[in-house]
Chains A and B, each alone.
Chain A
Amino acid sequence: MILTLTEVEHIAELARLQLTEEEKTRYREQLSAILDYAARLQALDTSDIAPTSSVLPTRSVLRPDEPRPGLDLADLMRNAPDTEAGQFRVPPVLE
Protein backbone atom coordinates (compact mmCIF):
# COMPACT_ATOMS: atom_id res chain seq x y z
CA MET A 1 0.00 0.00 0.00
CA ILE A 2 1.15 3.50 -0.85
CA LEU A 3 0.13 5.05 2.47
CA THR A 4 1.22 4.03 5.96
CA LEU A 5 -1.10 4.34 8.92
CA THR A 6 1.12 7.14 10.24
CA GLU A 7 0.67 9.05 6.97
CA VAL A 8 -3.09 8.64 7.16
CA GLU A 9 -3.02 10.06 10.69
CA HIS A 10 -0.84 12.94 9.51
CA ILE A 11 -3.24 13.81 6.65
CA ALA A 12 -6.23 13.63 9.01
CA GLU A 13 -4.43 16.01 11.37
CA LEU A 14 -3.69 18.47 8.54
CA ALA A 15 -7.36 18.30 7.51
CA ARG A 16 -8.60 18.60 11.12
CA LEU A 17 -10.63 15.42 10.86
CA GLN A 18 -11.00 13.14 13.86
CA LEU A 19 -11.16 9.60 12.49
CA THR A 20 -11.96 6.33 14.23
CA GLU A 21 -9.45 3.47 14.07
CA GLU A 22 -11.78 1.70 11.66
CA GLU A 23 -11.91 4.78 9.39
CA LYS A 24 -8.14 5.09 9.40
CA THR A 25 -7.76 1.48 8.25
CA ARG A 26 -10.42 1.86 5.56
CA TYR A 27 -9.10 5.17 4.23
CA ARG A 28 -5.58 3.78 4.16
CA GLU A 29 -6.75 1.01 1.82
CA GLN A 30 -9.07 3.13 -0.31
CA LEU A 31 -6.77 6.13 -0.69
CA SER A 32 -3.85 3.85 -1.52
CA ALA A 33 -5.92 2.23 -4.30
CA ILE A 34 -6.95 5.63 -5.69
CA LEU A 35 -3.38 6.99 -5.56
CA ASP A 36 -2.15 3.81 -7.22
CA TYR A 37 -4.64 4.42 -10.03
CA ALA A 38 -3.53 8.07 -10.27
CA ALA A 39 0.10 6.97 -10.63
CA ARG A 40 -0.54 6.46 -14.38
CA LEU A 41 -0.23 10.25 -14.73
CA GLN A 42 3.48 9.90 -13.97
CA ALA A 43 3.91 8.11 -17.29
CA LEU A 44 3.21 11.32 -19.23
CA ASP A 45 6.09 13.63 -20.01
CA THR A 46 4.83 17.07 -19.04
CA SER A 47 8.16 18.85 -18.71
CA ASP A 48 7.15 21.39 -21.39
CA ILE A 49 3.50 21.71 -20.36
CA ALA A 50 2.17 24.66 -18.36
CA PRO A 51 -0.33 23.83 -15.60
CA THR A 52 -4.00 24.81 -16.01
CA SER A 53 -5.53 26.40 -12.94
CA SER A 54 -8.38 28.09 -14.84
CA VAL A 55 -9.87 27.13 -18.19
CA LEU A 56 -10.72 30.73 -19.00
CA PRO A 57 -8.29 33.50 -19.83
CA THR A 58 -7.03 34.78 -16.49
CA ARG A 59 -7.56 38.47 -16.01
CA SER A 60 -7.76 40.88 -13.14
CA VAL A 61 -11.29 41.85 -12.20
CA LEU A 62 -11.47 45.23 -10.52
CA ARG A 63 -14.26 47.42 -9.23
CA PRO A 64 -14.40 50.77 -7.48
CA ASP A 65 -13.77 50.36 -3.77
CA GLU A 66 -16.97 51.95 -2.56
CA PRO A 67 -18.90 51.17 0.61
CA ARG A 68 -22.24 49.48 0.08
CA PRO A 69 -24.74 47.76 2.32
CA GLY A 70 -23.83 44.26 3.49
CA LEU A 71 -25.94 41.51 5.00
CA ASP A 72 -27.81 42.17 8.21
CA LEU A 73 -25.82 41.16 11.30
CA ALA A 74 -28.71 39.22 12.80
CA ASP A 75 -29.13 37.30 9.54
CA LEU A 76 -25.45 36.42 9.57
CA MET A 77 -25.37 35.32 13.20
CA ARG A 78 -28.53 33.24 13.23
CA ASN A 79 -26.74 30.18 11.82
CA ALA A 80 -23.99 30.18 14.43
CA PRO A 81 -24.10 27.48 17.12
CA ASP A 82 -22.97 29.83 19.91
CA THR A 83 -23.04 33.63 19.93
CA GLU A 84 -22.85 36.47 22.41
CA ALA A 85 -23.41 40.16 21.81
CA GLY A 86 -23.32 39.82 18.05
CA GLN A 87 -20.13 37.76 18.07
CA PHE A 88 -19.19 34.09 17.63
CA ARG A 89 -18.46 32.48 20.98
CA VAL A 90 -15.53 30.05 21.16
CA PRO A 91 -13.42 28.52 23.92
CA PRO A 92 -10.23 30.38 24.94
CA VAL A 93 -7.63 30.11 22.17
CA LEU A 94 -4.69 31.35 24.27
CA GLU A 95 -4.04 30.05 27.76
Chain B
Amino acid sequence: MPDLTDLTLVDALQALRRGDISSRQLTRAFLERIDSLEPSLHAFITLTPEKALAQADEADHRLRLWRGDPDQPLPPLLGLPIAVKDVLCVADVRCTCGSRILENFIPPFNATAVERLLRAGVVILGKTNTDEFAMGSSTENSAYQVTHNPWDLERVPGGSSGGSAAAVAAHMAPVALGTDTGGSVRQPASYCGVTGIKPTYGRVSRYGLVAYGSSLDSVGVLGRTAADVAVVFTLMAGHDPLDSTTMDIPVAEIALNGTENLTNLRVGVPEEYFIQGIQPEVESAVREAIHTLESLGAKVEPVSLPHTEYALPVYYLIAPAEASANLARYDGIRYGPRVPAKAMWDIFRQTRGAKFGAEVKRRIMLGTYALSAGYYDAYYGQAQKVRTLIKGDFEAAFKGVDVIAAPVAPTTAFRIGEHSDDPLAMYLEDVFTLPANLAGVPGLAFPVGFDSRGLPVGMQLMGPHFREEVLFRAAHAYQRVTTWHERKPEGL
Protein backbone atom coordinates (compact mmCIF):
# COMPACT_ATOMS: atom_id res chain seq x y z
CA MET B 1 0.00 0.00 0.00
CA PRO B 2 1.31 3.52 -0.76
CA ASP B 3 2.06 5.78 2.18
CA LEU B 4 -1.34 6.98 3.37
CA THR B 5 0.14 10.27 4.57
CA ASP B 6 0.86 11.18 0.94
CA LEU B 7 -2.85 11.21 0.08
CA THR B 8 -4.44 14.57 -0.57
CA LEU B 9 -7.65 15.33 1.31
CA VAL B 10 -9.70 14.80 -1.85
CA ASP B 11 -8.09 11.40 -2.54
CA ALA B 12 -8.28 10.32 1.10
CA LEU B 13 -12.02 11.04 1.24
CA GLN B 14 -12.59 8.96 -1.89
CA ALA B 15 -10.55 6.08 -0.51
CA LEU B 16 -12.51 6.22 2.77
CA ARG B 17 -15.86 6.15 0.96
CA ARG B 18 -14.86 3.27 -1.27
CA GLY B 19 -13.65 1.38 1.78
CA ASP B 20 -10.13 1.06 0.39
CA ILE B 21 -8.87 2.37 3.70
CA SER B 22 -10.39 2.91 7.13
CA SER B 23 -10.26 6.14 9.11
CA ARG B 24 -8.36 4.21 11.82
CA GLN B 25 -5.68 3.22 9.29
CA LEU B 26 -5.44 6.77 7.99
CA THR B 27 -5.38 8.30 11.46
CA ARG B 28 -2.76 5.81 12.67
CA ALA B 29 -0.59 6.58 9.64
CA PHE B 30 -0.59 10.28 10.50
CA LEU B 31 -0.07 9.63 14.24
CA GLU B 32 2.91 7.39 13.44
CA ARG B 33 4.42 10.00 11.14
CA ILE B 34 3.92 12.62 13.85
CA ASP B 35 5.68 10.31 16.34
CA SER B 36 8.67 9.90 14.08
CA LEU B 37 9.02 13.55 12.97
CA GLU B 38 7.94 15.48 16.05
CA PRO B 39 11.36 15.23 17.77
CA SER B 40 12.93 17.19 14.89
CA LEU B 41 10.04 19.51 13.93
CA HIS B 42 8.15 20.35 17.18
CA ALA B 43 4.99 21.22 15.25
CA PHE B 44 2.48 20.25 17.98
CA ILE B 45 1.92 21.59 21.48
CA THR B 46 -0.69 18.98 22.41
CA LEU B 47 -1.41 15.62 20.75
CA THR B 48 -4.72 13.83 21.23
CA PRO B 49 -4.12 10.31 19.84
CA GLU B 50 -6.71 8.51 22.01
CA LYS B 51 -9.47 10.95 21.12
CA ALA B 52 -8.40 10.83 17.47
CA LEU B 53 -8.60 7.02 17.31
CA ALA B 54 -12.00 7.07 19.05
CA GLN B 55 -13.27 9.60 16.51
CA ALA B 56 -11.81 7.46 13.71
CA ASP B 57 -13.56 4.34 14.98
CA GLU B 58 -16.84 6.23 15.16
CA ALA B 59 -16.29 7.45 11.59
CA ASP B 60 -15.54 3.90 10.40
CA HIS B 61 -18.75 2.68 12.03
CA ARG B 62 -20.77 5.36 10.22
CA LEU B 63 -18.97 4.68 6.93
CA ARG B 64 -19.88 0.98 7.20
CA LEU B 65 -23.53 1.84 7.82
CA TRP B 66 -23.47 4.25 4.88
CA ARG B 67 -22.00 1.66 2.52
CA GLY B 68 -24.96 -0.53 3.38
CA ASP B 69 -27.32 2.33 2.56
CA PRO B 70 -25.54 4.81 0.27
CA ASP B 71 -28.66 6.94 -0.21
CA GLN B 72 -28.21 8.26 3.33
CA PRO B 73 -26.43 11.63 3.59
CA LEU B 74 -22.78 11.31 4.55
CA PRO B 75 -20.93 14.00 6.52
CA PRO B 76 -18.57 15.48 3.91
CA LEU B 77 -15.28 15.00 5.80
CA LEU B 78 -16.15 11.79 7.65
CA GLY B 79 -12.98 10.10 8.91
CA LEU B 80 -10.53 12.80 7.77
CA PRO B 81 -7.72 13.66 10.23
CA ILE B 82 -6.87 17.36 10.71
CA ALA B 83 -4.68 19.45 12.99
CA VAL B 84 -5.86 22.63 14.74
CA LYS B 85 -3.79 25.68 15.64
CA ASP B 86 -3.62 26.07 19.41
CA VAL B 87 -5.51 29.36 19.48
CA LEU B 88 -8.82 27.75 18.49
CA CYS B 89 -10.85 26.09 21.22
CA VAL B 90 -11.49 22.35 21.02
CA ALA B 91 -13.75 21.30 23.88
CA ASP B 92 -11.96 19.42 26.67
CA VAL B 93 -8.53 19.74 25.02
CA ARG B 94 -5.95 22.11 26.53
CA CYS B 95 -5.70 25.40 24.62
CA THR B 96 -2.48 27.24 25.44
CA CYS B 97 -2.24 29.89 22.71
CA GLY B 98 1.49 29.24 22.97
CA SER B 99 1.42 31.06 26.32
CA ARG B 100 2.26 30.18 29.91
CA ILE B 101 -0.69 32.29 31.01
CA LEU B 102 -3.00 29.60 29.55
CA GLU B 103 -0.80 26.60 30.29
CA ASN B 104 -3.62 24.71 31.98
CA PHE B 105 -6.68 26.16 30.22
CA ILE B 106 -9.26 23.56 29.16
CA PRO B 107 -12.03 25.20 27.11
CA PRO B 108 -15.52 23.84 27.78
CA PHE B 109 -16.71 24.57 24.22
CA ASN B 110 -15.68 24.28 20.57
CA ALA B 111 -14.82 27.22 18.33
CA THR B 112 -17.50 27.48 15.64
CA ALA B 113 -14.97 26.62 12.90
CA VAL B 114 -13.99 23.49 14.86
CA GLU B 115 -17.61 22.63 15.68
CA ARG B 116 -18.59 22.79 12.00
CA LEU B 117 -15.71 20.55 10.97
CA LEU B 118 -16.46 18.05 13.75
CA ARG B 119 -20.03 17.90 12.50
CA ALA B 120 -18.59 17.31 9.02
CA GLY B 121 -16.85 14.25 10.50
CA VAL B 122 -13.20 15.19 11.05
CA VAL B 123 -10.76 13.48 13.41
CA ILE B 124 -8.59 15.90 15.43
CA LEU B 125 -4.95 14.81 15.75
CA GLY B 126 -3.82 17.61 18.05
CA LYS B 127 -3.10 21.30 18.56
CA THR B 128 -0.27 22.93 16.64
CA ASN B 129 2.41 25.31 17.80
CA THR B 130 1.98 29.06 17.46
CA ASP B 131 3.67 32.26 18.42
CA GLU B 132 2.23 33.33 21.78
CA PHE B 133 -1.32 34.63 21.13
CA ALA B 134 -0.47 34.48 17.41
CA MET B 135 1.94 37.42 17.81
CA GLY B 136 4.91 36.66 15.62
CA SER B 137 6.23 35.65 12.24
CA SER B 138 8.37 32.63 13.11
CA THR B 139 6.83 30.56 16.02
CA GLU B 140 9.94 31.57 17.99
CA ASN B 141 7.59 33.47 20.32
CA SER B 142 5.91 30.25 21.50
CA ALA B 143 6.48 29.73 25.22
CA TYR B 144 6.78 25.98 24.60
CA GLN B 145 9.06 25.30 21.64
CA VAL B 146 10.35 26.58 18.32
CA THR B 147 8.95 24.75 15.31
CA HIS B 148 11.51 23.89 12.65
CA ASN B 149 10.99 24.24 8.92
CA PRO B 150 10.70 20.78 7.29
CA TRP B 151 12.70 22.05 4.27
CA ASP B 152 15.64 23.14 6.44
CA LEU B 153 15.66 22.38 10.15
CA GLU B 154 17.89 25.40 10.86
CA ARG B 155 15.15 27.73 9.63
CA VAL B 156 11.82 28.96 10.93
CA PRO B 157 8.53 27.71 9.45
CA GLY B 158 7.13 31.24 9.55
CA GLY B 159 4.35 32.23 11.85
CA SER B 160 2.27 32.52 13.66
CA SER B 161 0.59 29.36 12.23
CA GLY B 162 4.07 27.80 11.89
CA GLY B 163 3.10 24.53 13.58
CA SER B 164 0.19 24.03 11.18
CA ALA B 165 2.30 24.89 8.12
CA ALA B 166 5.15 22.58 9.16
CA ALA B 167 2.70 19.76 9.95
CA VAL B 168 1.08 20.00 6.51
CA ALA B 169 4.41 20.34 4.67
CA ALA B 170 5.80 17.28 6.47
CA HIS B 171 2.63 15.23 5.84
CA MET B 172 1.86 15.00 9.56
CA ALA B 173 -1.69 16.11 8.69
CA PRO B 174 -3.42 16.52 5.33
CA VAL B 175 -4.85 19.90 6.34
CA ALA B 176 -4.58 22.14 9.39
CA LEU B 177 -6.45 25.15 10.69
CA GLY B 178 -4.58 28.41 11.11
CA THR B 179 -5.42 32.01 11.84
CA ASP B 180 -4.32 35.16 10.03
CA THR B 181 -4.29 38.59 11.69
CA GLY B 182 -1.39 40.07 9.72
CA GLY B 183 -0.23 37.19 7.52
CA SER B 184 -0.14 34.30 9.96
CA VAL B 185 -1.59 31.76 7.52
CA ARG B 186 -0.06 33.03 4.29
CA GLN B 187 3.52 33.69 5.42
CA PRO B 188 4.07 30.23 7.01
CA ALA B 189 2.32 28.64 4.01
CA SER B 190 4.87 30.43 1.83
CA TYR B 191 7.87 29.46 3.99
CA CYS B 192 6.77 25.81 4.12
CA GLY B 193 5.63 25.42 0.50
CA VAL B 194 1.93 24.76 1.20
CA THR B 195 -1.36 26.38 0.21
CA GLY B 196 -3.20 28.56 2.73
CA ILE B 197 -6.32 30.74 2.71
CA LYS B 198 -6.90 33.88 4.74
CA PRO B 199 -10.63 34.39 4.19
CA THR B 200 -12.45 37.71 3.97
CA TYR B 201 -12.90 39.31 7.40
CA GLY B 202 -16.33 38.22 8.62
CA ARG B 203 -16.42 35.09 6.43
CA VAL B 204 -15.50 32.52 9.08
CA SER B 205 -16.75 32.87 12.65
CA ARG B 206 -14.23 33.99 15.26
CA TYR B 207 -16.26 32.46 18.09
CA GLY B 208 -13.84 30.31 20.09
CA LEU B 209 -10.78 31.86 18.47
CA VAL B 210 -8.81 33.41 21.32
CA ALA B 211 -8.84 37.10 20.39
CA TYR B 212 -5.72 39.00 19.34
CA GLY B 213 -6.73 41.88 17.02
CA SER B 214 -10.48 41.65 16.70
CA SER B 215 -10.90 43.87 13.64
CA LEU B 216 -8.22 41.86 11.80
CA ASP B 217 -8.42 38.23 13.03
CA SER B 218 -9.53 35.57 10.55
CA VAL B 219 -9.67 31.78 10.70
CA GLY B 220 -8.06 30.01 7.75
CA VAL B 221 -6.90 26.64 6.46
CA LEU B 222 -3.58 25.24 5.25
CA GLY B 223 -3.29 22.21 2.97
CA ARG B 224 -1.21 20.84 0.14
CA THR B 225 -3.51 21.87 -2.73
CA ALA B 226 -5.97 24.66 -3.47
CA ALA B 227 -8.66 22.00 -4.01
CA ASP B 228 -8.11 20.55 -0.51
CA VAL B 229 -8.11 23.95 1.17
CA ALA B 230 -11.28 24.98 -0.70
CA VAL B 231 -13.21 21.99 0.67
CA VAL B 232 -12.42 22.79 4.30
CA PHE B 233 -12.87 26.55 3.87
CA THR B 234 -16.35 26.09 2.40
CA LEU B 235 -17.44 23.95 5.35
CA MET B 236 -16.17 26.44 7.96
CA ALA B 237 -17.48 29.60 6.34
CA GLY B 238 -20.79 31.36 6.76
CA HIS B 239 -22.93 33.31 9.16
CA ASP B 240 -22.75 32.43 12.85
CA PRO B 241 -25.08 33.97 15.43
CA LEU B 242 -22.22 33.69 17.94
CA ASP B 243 -20.05 36.16 15.99
CA SER B 244 -21.91 39.33 15.06
CA THR B 245 -19.24 40.30 12.53
CA THR B 246 -19.94 37.25 10.34
CA MET B 247 -21.93 38.26 7.30
CA ASP B 248 -25.10 36.52 6.18
CA ILE B 249 -23.84 35.96 2.66
CA PRO B 250 -24.21 32.50 1.08
CA VAL B 251 -21.05 30.44 0.74
CA ALA B 252 -20.94 29.30 -2.86
CA GLU B 253 -19.89 25.76 -3.70
CA ILE B 254 -16.43 26.09 -5.19
CA ALA B 255 -16.53 24.10 -8.44
CA LEU B 256 -13.01 23.23 -9.53
CA ASN B 257 -13.84 20.33 -11.84
CA GLY B 258 -13.15 20.28 -15.53
CA THR B 259 -10.48 21.98 -17.55
CA GLU B 260 -9.69 25.32 -16.05
CA ASN B 261 -8.97 28.23 -18.23
CA LEU B 262 -8.57 31.73 -16.95
CA THR B 263 -9.73 33.57 -20.08
CA ASN B 264 -11.90 36.08 -18.28
CA LEU B 265 -9.60 36.59 -15.30
CA ARG B 266 -7.99 40.03 -14.96
CA VAL B 267 -4.85 39.85 -12.80
CA GLY B 268 -3.39 43.02 -11.33
CA VAL B 269 0.29 43.25 -10.44
CA PRO B 270 1.05 45.97 -7.86
CA GLU B 271 4.42 47.65 -8.43
CA GLU B 272 4.59 48.48 -4.70
CA TYR B 273 5.13 44.76 -3.90
CA PHE B 274 8.30 44.46 -5.98
CA ILE B 275 10.42 46.77 -3.89
CA GLN B 276 14.13 47.06 -3.34
CA GLY B 277 15.33 44.49 -0.85
CA ILE B 278 13.10 41.69 -2.10
CA GLN B 279 15.09 38.47 -2.63
CA PRO B 280 15.69 38.27 -6.42
CA GLU B 281 14.65 34.60 -6.56
CA VAL B 282 11.34 35.48 -4.89
CA GLU B 283 10.64 38.18 -7.46
CA SER B 284 11.58 35.95 -10.42
CA ALA B 285 9.48 32.99 -9.20
CA VAL B 286 6.44 35.21 -8.64
CA ARG B 287 6.82 36.92 -12.02
CA GLU B 288 7.16 33.51 -13.68
CA ALA B 289 3.96 32.34 -11.95
CA ILE B 290 2.15 35.44 -13.21
CA HIS B 291 3.32 34.47 -16.74
CA THR B 292 1.86 31.01 -16.16
CA LEU B 293 -1.52 32.55 -15.25
CA GLU B 294 -1.23 34.60 -18.46
CA SER B 295 -0.51 31.45 -20.47
CA LEU B 296 -3.75 30.01 -19.06
CA GLY B 297 -5.62 32.94 -20.56
CA ALA B 298 -5.55 35.56 -17.81
CA LYS B 299 -5.07 39.20 -18.72
CA VAL B 300 -2.27 40.73 -16.67
CA GLU B 301 -2.01 44.45 -16.05
CA PRO B 302 -0.23 46.74 -13.60
CA VAL B 303 -2.19 48.17 -10.67
CA SER B 304 -1.17 50.58 -7.97
CA LEU B 305 -1.75 50.26 -4.22
CA PRO B 306 -0.06 53.55 -3.34
CA HIS B 307 -0.39 53.37 0.46
CA THR B 308 1.25 49.94 0.79
CA GLU B 309 4.30 51.35 2.59
CA TYR B 310 2.07 52.62 5.41
CA ALA B 311 0.52 49.21 6.14
CA LEU B 312 3.32 48.22 8.49
CA PRO B 313 3.12 51.21 10.88
CA VAL B 314 -0.71 51.17 10.70
CA TYR B 315 -0.85 47.48 11.59
CA TYR B 316 1.69 47.74 14.39
CA LEU B 317 -0.43 50.44 16.07
CA ILE B 318 -3.92 48.99 15.47
CA ALA B 319 -3.18 45.32 16.23
CA PRO B 320 -1.31 46.04 19.50
CA ALA B 321 -4.03 48.52 20.53
CA GLU B 322 -6.70 45.84 20.07
CA ALA B 323 -4.44 43.27 21.72
CA SER B 324 -3.89 45.45 24.78
CA ALA B 325 -7.67 45.49 25.31
CA ASN B 326 -8.24 41.82 24.43
CA LEU B 327 -5.47 40.57 26.70
CA ALA B 328 -6.68 42.56 29.71
CA ARG B 329 -8.76 39.49 30.60
CA TYR B 330 -5.66 37.51 31.65
CA ASP B 331 -5.45 38.52 35.26
CA GLY B 332 -4.98 35.30 37.21
CA ILE B 333 -8.56 35.27 38.51
CA ARG B 334 -10.81 33.27 36.20
CA TYR B 335 -8.34 31.05 34.37
CA GLY B 336 -4.64 30.44 34.06
CA PRO B 337 -2.06 30.32 36.81
CA ARG B 338 -1.99 32.96 39.54
CA VAL B 339 1.09 34.48 41.11
CA PRO B 340 -0.15 34.86 44.70
CA ALA B 341 -0.05 38.27 46.34
CA LYS B 342 -1.76 40.04 49.22
CA ALA B 343 -3.41 42.71 47.09
CA MET B 344 -5.57 42.23 44.02
CA TRP B 345 -3.57 44.75 41.93
CA ASP B 346 -0.38 42.86 42.71
CA ILE B 347 -1.95 39.59 41.53
CA PHE B 348 -2.69 41.27 38.20
CA ARG B 349 0.74 42.89 37.83
CA GLN B 350 2.78 39.93 38.95
CA THR B 351 0.79 37.25 37.11
CA ARG B 352 0.86 39.19 33.85
CA GLY B 353 4.50 40.21 34.27
CA ALA B 354 5.60 36.64 34.96
CA LYS B 355 3.41 34.65 32.56
CA PHE B 356 3.29 36.74 29.37
CA GLY B 357 6.28 36.40 27.05
CA ALA B 358 8.48 39.23 25.76
CA GLU B 359 6.67 39.88 22.47
CA VAL B 360 3.21 39.86 24.07
CA LYS B 361 4.31 42.33 26.73
CA ARG B 362 5.93 44.47 24.02
CA ARG B 363 2.68 44.64 22.04
CA ILE B 364 0.53 45.26 25.12
CA MET B 365 2.85 48.16 26.03
CA LEU B 366 2.80 49.53 22.48
CA GLY B 367 -0.98 49.28 22.24
CA THR B 368 -1.53 50.79 25.69
CA TYR B 369 0.64 53.74 24.71
CA ALA B 370 -1.11 54.21 21.33
CA LEU B 371 -4.47 54.36 23.13
CA SER B 372 -3.40 56.44 26.12
CA ALA B 373 -4.60 59.96 26.85
CA GLY B 374 -2.63 62.52 24.88
CA TYR B 375 -1.35 60.05 22.28
CA TYR B 376 -4.59 58.51 20.98
CA ASP B 377 -5.09 60.99 18.10
CA ALA B 378 -1.49 60.96 16.96
CA TYR B 379 -1.09 57.18 16.94
CA TYR B 380 -4.26 55.06 17.04
CA GLY B 381 -6.53 57.72 15.49
CA GLN B 382 -4.12 58.48 12.66
CA ALA B 383 -3.56 54.75 12.03
CA GLN B 384 -7.32 54.21 11.66
CA LYS B 385 -7.50 57.02 9.11
CA VAL B 386 -4.59 55.68 7.09
CA ARG B 387 -6.31 52.29 7.25
CA THR B 388 -9.14 53.92 5.30
CA LEU B 389 -6.64 54.93 2.60
CA ILE B 390 -5.23 51.39 2.40
CA LYS B 391 -8.74 49.93 2.10
CA GLY B 392 -9.48 52.52 -0.58
CA ASP B 393 -6.43 51.39 -2.58
CA PHE B 394 -7.92 47.90 -2.88
CA GLU B 395 -11.41 49.17 -3.72
CA ALA B 396 -9.96 51.27 -6.55
CA ALA B 397 -7.79 48.42 -7.86
CA PHE B 398 -10.67 45.92 -7.87
CA LYS B 399 -12.65 48.21 -10.16
CA GLY B 400 -10.23 47.15 -12.91
CA VAL B 401 -9.01 43.66 -11.97
CA ASP B 402 -10.46 40.47 -10.42
CA VAL B 403 -7.40 39.45 -8.41
CA ILE B 404 -4.10 40.96 -7.34
CA ALA B 405 -0.98 38.77 -7.55
CA ALA B 406 2.02 39.50 -5.31
CA PRO B 407 4.77 37.86 -3.30
CA VAL B 408 3.76 36.65 0.19
CA ALA B 409 7.00 37.74 1.85
CA PRO B 410 10.14 39.54 0.68
CA THR B 411 12.34 36.49 1.38
CA THR B 412 12.21 32.73 1.82
CA ALA B 413 12.41 31.26 5.35
CA PHE B 414 15.00 32.94 7.56
CA ARG B 415 17.29 31.25 10.09
CA ILE B 416 16.12 30.52 13.61
CA GLY B 417 17.37 33.37 15.80
CA GLU B 418 18.09 35.71 12.88
CA HIS B 419 15.63 38.42 14.01
CA SER B 420 15.37 37.57 17.72
CA ASP B 421 16.99 40.79 18.96
CA ASP B 422 15.30 43.21 16.56
CA PRO B 423 11.49 43.30 16.68
CA LEU B 424 11.28 45.86 13.88
CA ALA B 425 13.25 43.60 11.51
CA MET B 426 10.85 40.77 12.38
CA TYR B 427 7.84 43.01 11.70
CA LEU B 428 9.24 43.84 8.24
CA GLU B 429 8.69 40.18 7.25
CA ASP B 430 4.95 40.99 7.26
CA VAL B 431 5.14 43.94 4.87
CA PHE B 432 3.26 42.19 2.01
CA THR B 433 0.65 40.36 4.07
CA LEU B 434 -0.58 43.15 6.37
CA PRO B 435 -2.52 45.16 3.73
CA ALA B 436 -5.04 42.35 3.09
CA ASN B 437 -5.89 42.21 6.82
CA LEU B 438 -6.22 45.98 7.09
CA ALA B 439 -8.55 46.00 4.05
CA GLY B 440 -10.33 42.79 5.13
CA VAL B 441 -9.87 41.17 1.72
CA PRO B 442 -9.19 37.44 1.21
CA GLY B 443 -5.72 36.15 0.30
CA LEU B 444 -4.61 32.73 -0.91
CA ALA B 445 -0.92 31.75 -0.73
CA PHE B 446 0.58 28.84 -2.68
CA PRO B 447 4.03 27.66 -3.76
CA VAL B 448 5.41 28.96 -7.07
CA GLY B 449 9.04 27.84 -6.94
CA PHE B 450 12.11 27.19 -4.82
CA ASP B 451 15.21 29.28 -4.24
CA SER B 452 18.79 28.05 -4.72
CA ARG B 453 18.85 26.78 -1.11
CA GLY B 454 15.85 24.58 -1.82
CA LEU B 455 13.44 26.76 0.16
CA PRO B 456 9.88 27.32 -1.11
CA VAL B 457 8.71 30.62 -2.57
CA GLY B 458 5.07 31.61 -2.21
CA MET B 459 2.75 33.86 -4.18
CA GLN B 460 -0.53 35.29 -2.92
CA LEU B 461 -3.66 36.16 -4.81
CA MET B 462 -5.89 38.76 -3.15
CA GLY B 463 -9.47 39.37 -4.18
CA PRO B 464 -12.49 41.53 -3.37
CA HIS B 465 -14.49 40.84 -0.19
CA PHE B 466 -16.29 37.46 -0.25
CA ARG B 467 -14.78 36.40 -3.60
CA GLU B 468 -12.62 33.56 -2.29
CA GLU B 469 -13.81 31.24 -5.05
CA VAL B 470 -12.03 33.34 -7.70
CA LEU B 471 -8.75 32.88 -5.81
CA PHE B 472 -9.27 29.13 -5.49
CA ARG B 473 -10.10 28.73 -9.20
CA ALA B 474 -6.99 30.61 -10.27
CA ALA B 475 -4.70 28.71 -7.87
CA HIS B 476 -6.26 25.39 -8.85
CA ALA B 477 -5.72 26.15 -12.55
CA TYR B 478 -2.10 27.02 -11.74
CA GLN B 479 -1.60 23.80 -9.76
CA ARG B 480 -2.97 21.71 -12.65
CA VAL B 481 -0.07 22.83 -14.84
CA THR B 482 2.70 23.03 -12.21
CA THR B 483 4.18 20.61 -9.67
CA TRP B 484 5.69 22.85 -6.95
CA HIS B 485 2.86 21.88 -4.60
CA GLU B 486 3.64 18.18 -5.06
CA ARG B 487 7.21 18.44 -3.74
CA LYS B 488 7.85 16.87 -0.37
CA PRO B 489 10.75 17.70 1.98
CA GLU B 490 13.46 15.04 1.80
CA GLY B 491 15.48 13.45 4.53
CA LEU B 492 13.18 13.99 7.47
A interface residues with partner B (beta carbon < 8 Å): 3, 7-8, 11-12, 14-19, 23, 27, 30-31, 33-35, 37-38, 40-42, 44, 46, 49-56, 61, 63, 71-72, 75-76, 78-82, 88, 90-91, 93
Contact = CB atoms under 8 A, between A and B. Distances in A.
B345 A16 contact: yes
Contacts, number: 157
Interface of B: 104-106, 108-109, 201-202, 215, 241, 244-245, 247, 309-310, 312-314, 316-317, 324, 328, 331-338, 341-345, 347-350, 352-354, 356, 358, 361-362, 364-366, 368-369, 372, 378-379, 381-389, 391, 423-424, 427, 438-440, 465
B443 to A, nearest CB: 13
B386 A46 contact: yes
B362 to A, nearest CB: 6
Q: Which 3 A-B pairs have the closest CB atoms?
A: A55-B440, A18-B353, A51-B384
Contact of B361 (A3, A19, A54): A19
8 contacts: A7-B369, A15-B352, A16-B328, A51-B384, A51-B387, A51-B388, A55-B465, A63-B241
A51 B427 CA distance: 23
Q: Which of A38, A46, A53, A71 has the most CB of B within 10 A?
A: A38
Given A40-B310, A55-B440, A91-B341, A34 B316 contact: yes
A38 B312 CA distance: 8
A81 B339 CA distance: 10
Contacts of B202: 55-56
A75 to B, nearest CB: 4
B310 A44 contact: yes
Given A56-B201, A56-B245, A79-B105, A17 B372 contact: no
A90 to B, nearest CB: 6
A61 B246 CA distance: 10
B365 A17 contact: yes
Nearest to B354: A18
Given A16-B348, A37-B424, A42-B382, A11 B245 contact: no
Contacts of B344: 90-91, 93
Contacts of B349: 16-18
A19 B357 CA distance: 11
A93 B362 CA distance: 29
B314 A41 contact: yes
The A contact surface, by secondary structure, is: loop
A90 B332 CA distance: 10
Contacts of A52: 384-385, 387-388, 391
A93 B344 CA distance: 6
Contacts of A34: 316, 366, 423-424, 427
A27 B245 contact: no
Contacts of A71: 108-109
Contacts of B362: 27, 30-31
Contacts of A30: 362, 423-424
Contacts of B354: 18
Contacts of B247: 56
Nearest to B428: A37
Contacts of A17: 349, 352-353, 356, 361, 364-365
Given A15-B365, A41-B310, A91-B347, A54 B215 contact: yes
Contact of A55 (B201, B356, B365, B427): B201
Contacts of B350: 18
Given A17-B349, A30-B362, A90-B347, 16 more contacts: A11-B369, A37-B313, A41-B383, A44-B310, A44-B386, A49-B386, A49-B389, A52-B387, A53-B384, A54-B245, A56-B440, A76-B108, A79-B105, A81-B335, A91-B341, A91-B342
B331 A81 contact: no
Contacts of B316: 34, 37-38
Listed residue (B332, B343, B365, B427) with the most chain A CB atoms within 10 angstroms of its CB: B365
